[in-house]
Amino acid sequence: MIARIWHGWTRPADAKTYETMLRDEIFPSIATRKIPGYRGAELFIREDGDEAQFVTLLRFDSMDAVKIFAGEDESRPVIYPKAVRLLTRMDERSQHYRIAL
């Protein structure tokens, strides 16, 4: 199993809007793609003074499944256009880890 991890940051005033967008629009739209080997998503949020940090963790059976999601450049972040205006900064590459436990 592969964990795909990505970080993005918003202003505190935009944090709830971005959280709602991820939960109600973005993650469900990934699920509706019915990607073989996609096993779900988790969202972690850390509010820290003048910004809110978002960590997304998507689970896939294999890197082949990741490539179906992200394309041949599997480390390229998949950013929904509507979300770009809320992000103040973001990882330029997603990281992939083998889930050992």
What is the average pLDDT value for the chain, to the nearest integer? 97
Angle, CA of 82, 95 and 89, to the nearest 5°: 40
* Domain count of the fold of the chain: 1
> What's the rounded Cα separation, in Å, for the pair 37 and 89?
29
Whether pTM exceeds 0.85: yes
Task: Place 67 in a pLDDT band, splitting at 50, 70 and 90.
Answer: very high
In the chain, pLDDT over 70 holds for what percent of residues? 100
CATH of the domain at 26: 3.30.70.100
pLDDT tens for each residue of 41-55: 999 999 989 999 999
Q: Give me the domain span that covers residue 35.
A: 2-98
